[in-house]
């Protein structure tokens, strides 16, 4: 039975909430992930774009290629760390401790 856990877009605050409910770790290496700080920005921009509130040109006008690359690498590293934490949580049956 699949239960919908997230409404669509997630950010680090939603991930923290779920970690408290389910018990998995949100640890990540801050130097590479900034603990998911940029995830909220990505979420907000995606929502604004999808609802037609802003254009790609408006969002991108002050963002360099290097900025985009850094943001994407940071967000990917954060989500990868969270996925690894969840995998560890499952593989070690830590959910049984809840």
pLDDT digits (tens, 9 = 90+) for 19-57: 999 999 999 999 999 999 999 999 999 999 999 999 999
State whether residue 79 is helix, strand or coil.
helix
Query: Domain for residue 68, yes or no?
Result: yes
Query: Domain for residue 93, yes or no?
Result: yes
Count of domains in the chain?
Answer: 1
Query: Domain for residue 84, yes or no?
Result: yes
What pLDDT score does 1 carry?
54
Domain containing residue 20: 12-97
Over residues 63-84, the pLDDT tens digits come to: 999 999 999 999 999 999 999 9
pLDDT tier, 96 (very low <50, low <70, confident <90, very high otherwise): confident
pTM of the model: 0.86
What pLDDT score does 2 carry?
64
């Amino acid at each position: 039975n699949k239960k919908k856990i997230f409404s669509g877009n997630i950010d680090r605050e939603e991930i923290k909430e779920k970690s408290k409910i389910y018990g998995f770790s949100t640890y990540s290496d801050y130097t590479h992930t900034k603990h998911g700080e940029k995830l909220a920005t990505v979420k907000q921009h995606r929502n604004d774009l999808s609802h037609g509130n802003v254009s790609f040109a408006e969002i991108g006008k002050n963002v360099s290629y290097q900025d985009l690359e850094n943001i994407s690498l940071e967000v990917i590293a954060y989500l990868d760390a969270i996925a690894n934490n969840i995998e560890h949580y499952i593989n070690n049956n830590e959910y049984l401790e809840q």
